Amino acid sequence: MHVAVVGSGYVGLVAGACLADLGHEVILVDNDPHKLKALKNGQTPIHENFLPELLSRHRGHRLNFSDDLHEAVRASSAIFIAVGTPPTDRGDADLSYVESVAREISSAISEYKIVVEKSTVPVYTSEWVRRIILRNGADPECFDVASNPEFLREGTAVTDFLYPDRIVVGCDTDRAAQVLRKIYEPLTSGSYYVQAGAIPQPDRTSIPAPIIVTTTKSAELIKHASNAFLAMKISFINAVATVCESVGADVNQVCHGIGTDNRIGPRFLNPGIGYGGSCFPKDVMAFRSVARECGYDFRLLDEVMRINEDQRDRFLRKVRSALWTLRGKRLGVLGLAFKGGTDDIRESPAILIVQALLQEGCKITAYDPAAMERTQEVMSSNLKYANSAYEAAAGSDALLILTEWEEFANLDLDRLHGDLKYPIIIDGRNLYDPEVMAASGFTYYSVGRAASHPDGVPTGALKNGNGVKKA
C-alpha cells in the first residue's frame, strides 16, 4: 500500500521504516530541513537498534523522505500523523502540530483516504481532526479518521513495532478498519516473520500479533490509560521501595515476591529514580487534564506524579547523606538518557539530578553511551564528558549510576575501585547486589535496599562513628 507518515521523529521514523519492511511504499514527511537532509544523506538521526539497517535497506526504494506534505497525501491511501504532542503550561497536550497537519492535508484529499492518529492524543482528537479537515474543504465521503496508538518503547522501538503485544486500531467505519487491517496484515497473518531478512524475534514475544479493533475514542483512551497505568506501576514500586528502606527490607525481594503473581507480573517493577522521557510525564498530565475536562477528578494520577518527583529528591538526599557537603565535590555520573538503549534525554530524571547537583556546586564528569551529544546541546558547559565509565569515575569522590544501560551493570569492579578517589557508588537503578559491592570494597547505596559497606563500616567513617549515619 502507499502510505505517508507525517513527522519523522522517534515514532514516525521507526513506523515508516518498519512499514516499508512490511512491504509498503512509504513517504516520510517532515518540516525540519536538517532532519530531512540527514535522512536523505544516509544518516540515522536517532539511536535505535536495527533502525540503521532498515533505513539502508529501504531508503530510496520503498522509503522516501520529503517536505511536500500535499504530494505525499495525494500519493497515499493512508496518512499517519506522528508529530509531537508536547505538554502545554496547563498540563494538557499541545495539539497545534496535529491541527496544522490536518489543515494542510485537506486540500490533497480528492479520493478515499484514511487519516490515522499515530501521535498520542486525548480522547475526542479524532473528532477535531475530522472537523478541521471538513472545514478546509474536503469531501466528507472521501476520508475517515482513525486512531492507531503506538506502544513502542525507545531503545527497542523497531522490535516493539514489528513484534507488538497487540495492534490497536480505533475506527468508526468498516472501510477504515479494512485499510488498517490490510496495512498490518503481514504482522497479523505472520507472513512477515517468515520472510527473508525479517528482523529477528526478541525473547518474550509471541507471534502473530493480535489486532484489537475498537472505536476511535476507545483507542485514544487505551493509549492514555496504558501509559498512566505503567507510570502508576513505577510510582507504586518506588513508594514500596521507600517503605523498604525505612524498615530494612529489600525491595528486590519484594518485587520478586509480588511480580511472580500472574495478575501483577514482574515487568515495570523496577525501583529507581522515577520515570521520565517524552511520554509518561506528559501523558499522565494530559490524561489527568482530559479526565478533569470530562468532569472526573483523577486524583490517583496526582499522587503518581508526586511520588515520581519525590523519588528524585530522595536520591539527592541520598547523595548528600553519602558525601555530607556537596560544594566542590567531584562526581562521576553514569547515564544521561532517560532510560538505557536510547539517546533521548527529554524529561530524563538523570539530567534533572545532574542539573540539581551542578547547582549545588558539584563538579561532574558524565558518561553515556549514546546521549552525550544531545546533552551537550542543552546543558551548561559546567558538565564535563568522559569517553568511558572508568574515565567518568577517575578521581571522583563518588560514582552515581543514573541510567540502566547494560554496560553499566557489567563494570570491572576492581578497576572501578582503583579509579575512584573514594569507593562510593550511589546507584539509582539497582544494577548491583549490595553484598557483592561490599565484598568488592565499595560503600554502596541503592534504592529500597539498605546501604552496604566494606566490612560493614561506612567508607570515610570517623573512628568513633560520629557524624556518619549508617543508612
35 binds ligand NAD (CB under 6 A): yes
Among 4, 5, 10, 220, binds ligand NAD (CB under 6 A): 10
Indicate the helix (H) or strand (E) that contains 251. Answer: helix 251-259
Closest residue to bound ligand NAD by CB: 9
Give the torsion sign (CA, 417, 421, 423, 425).
Answer: negative
Give the torsion sign (CA, 231, 232, 233, 237).
Answer: positive
Q: Rule CB under 6 A: which of 83-112 touch ligand NAD? A: 83-85, 97, 100-101
32 binds ligand NAD (CB under 6 A): yes
**What minimum distance in Å lies between the beta carbon of 120 and ligand NAD?**
4
CA atoms within 13 A on the CB side of 434: 21
The rounded Cα 165 to chain-centroid distance in angstroms is 17
Count of residues touching ligand NAD (by CB under 6 A):
27
**What minimum distance in Å lies between the beta carbon of 10 and ligand NAD?**
4
Nearest to 187, CA basis, from 170, 171, 199: 199
Q: Would residue 279 show up in a list of annotated catalytic residues for this protein?
A: yes
Of 32 and 360, nearer to ligand NAD (C-beta) is 32
120 binds ligand NAD (CB under 6 A): yes
For residue 196, give every residue at least 6 positions away whose Cβ sits within 8 Å of its Cβ, in sequence order, or none. none
160 binds ligand NAD (CB under 6 A): no
Of 100 and 388, nearer to ligand NAD (C-beta) is 100
- Catalytic residue chosen out of the listed positions 18, 255, 279, 362: 279
- Cα gap 270→447, rounded to integer Å: 10
64 DSSP β-pair partners: 27
**What minimum distance in Å lies between the beta carbon of 287 and ligand NAD?**
12
- Cα gap 205→202, rounded to integer Å: 6
Q: Rule CB under 6 A: which of 262-281 touch ligand NAD? A: 278-279
Nearest to 229, CA basis, from 264, 190, 181, 182: 264
Among 9, 122, 271, 428, binds ligand NAD (CB under 6 A): 9
- In angstroms, the Cα distances linking 298 to 232, 303, 420 are 12, 10, 47
Of 226 and 355, nearer to ligand NAD (C-beta) is 226
The DSSP output letter for 209 is: P
- Cα gap 450→245, rounded to integer Å: 6
Of 76 and 85, nearer to ligand NAD (C-beta) is 85
The rounded Cα 139 to chain-centroid distance in angstroms is 38
Among 48, 144, 150, 368, binds ligand NAD (CB under 6 A): 150
Stretch that binds ligand NAD, among 149-157, 193-201, 290-298, 400-408 (CB under 6 A): 149-157
Catalytically active residues are 279
- Given the rule CB under 6 A, which residues bind ligand NAD? 6-12, 29-32, 35, 69, 82-85, 97, 100-101, 119-120, 150, 152, 154, 278-279
